[in-house]
Amino acid sequence: MEGPRKPAQRTGTVRRVSGIEMDDFGALVERPDAGVRRDSQERWGELVRPSGGLGRVAELADWLAAVQGQVVARPIARPRVLVFAADHGVAALDVSARPAGTTLDLVRAALDGTAPAAILAQQYGAELRLVDMAVDCDPAELPAPVTAHRVRRGSGRLDIEDALSPEETEKAFRSGLALADEEADSGTDLVLLGDLSVGGTTVAGVLIAALCGTDASVVTGRGSGIDDLAWMRKCAAIRDGLRRARPVLGDQLALLGAVGGADFAAITGFLLQAAVRKLPVVLDGVVSAACALVAQRVAFRAPDWWVAGVATGEAGQAKALDRVSLEPLVDRGVAVGGGAGAVLALPLLQAAAALSAGLA
């Protein structure tokens, strides 16, 4: 995977980061068809009384029509739950209710079908795919297809060192690009994005605070259900991470390498290439919201290809989604991660598509 294809004609300076032309994404990402969205909106006025009677469901149908490029939305035939997994070095500071390095347990539950996202995916007819980017375990402990894109074992402690080397950051980012191409080429028509990690909400807090220009306390949530002392440790870790993030704010890959992780770099790359390939994505919690915020800095039109699944109650997620102008479809405080919040939005999207076609 060599990154996005360069447009035939472009002007201006191209900024090269680790061999990847990040500026190309801004040129390659197009908006969903505005004319189709408008025609879909007008069509509801002829089909439904009172006007606006279907509320948010009709808005979702308009979005599906626009991203699919046809006024009558197609049924969602091949949804995929795509879950990125990694451990984070910052978890060693006891910022999570889970012990550091135990993401493997979460991954096994997802593979066994006993995790919330796996149960919901089976219920709603979505296939789950798990990608190990940096789980802290021997790769032999997981199936080969799961570890195919692994970058390293765990990550550096972002408060005192880079999470990834430049080479690892590029590799993870390119893995995200490749995964988006794989899903688009295989016929996936909707991706329900998820993540599994220990320490991931702390990493997300650093990125969101840095990109939104806020203090650590504003974005520090309870994550896995931490107590007050753990919250203070987490806030301090985010504050220390911010000091390392601010000098590289203008360089998205450097930012992901300094205070992100392999999963964050891969998810960001995935979101960008999915927008290039016109593959719609449902975001899950604060981790995918943080990656969306980074991706928006690269390609400002990319958020038009995403919707937010559920409000988790994390202040950082709310701030990030507000910045990318996305409103969660479900407001139920579901914060178990792994893509469960994104999958909860699937029935609404399926209903929107069914009504668009059935009310012809």
Provide the CATH topology of domain 18-74+353-358. Answer: 1.10.1610
**pLDDT at residue number 49:** 66
Give the β-pairing of 190-198 and 306-308: unpaired
- List the end-to-end C-alpha distance of the chain, in Å, as a whole number: 42
- Residue 61 has a pLDDT of 95
> What's the CA gap between 57 and 68, in Å, rounded?
16
CA 196, distance to chain mean position in Å, is 12
Domain spanning 79-347, CATH class? alpha beta
Q: 171: alpha, beta or left, given left = phi > 0 and alpha = psi -120 to 50?
A: alpha
**pLDDT tens string for the chain (360 positions)?**
445 543 333 222 223 345 788 989 999 999 999 999 999 999 988 887 666 778 889 999 999 999 999 999 999 999 999 999 999 999 999 999 999 999 999 999 999 999 999 999 999 999 999 999 999 999 999 999 999 999 999 999 999 999 999 999 999 999 999 999 999 999 999 999 999 999 999 999 999 999 999 999 999 988 878 899 999 999 999 999 999 999 999 999 999 999 999 999 999 999 999 999 999 999 999 999 999 999 999 999 999 999 999 999 899 999 999 999 999 998 877 888 899 999 999 999 999 999 998 886
The residue extents of the domains of the chain are 18-74+353-358, 79-347
Quote the CA–CA distance of 179 and 337 in Å, as a whole number: 20
pLDDT for position 5: 40
Quote the pLDDT of residue 331: 85
Rounded to two decimals, the pTM is 0.92
Tokens of 80: 């995929």
In a 3-state reduction of DSSP, which class is residue 85? strand
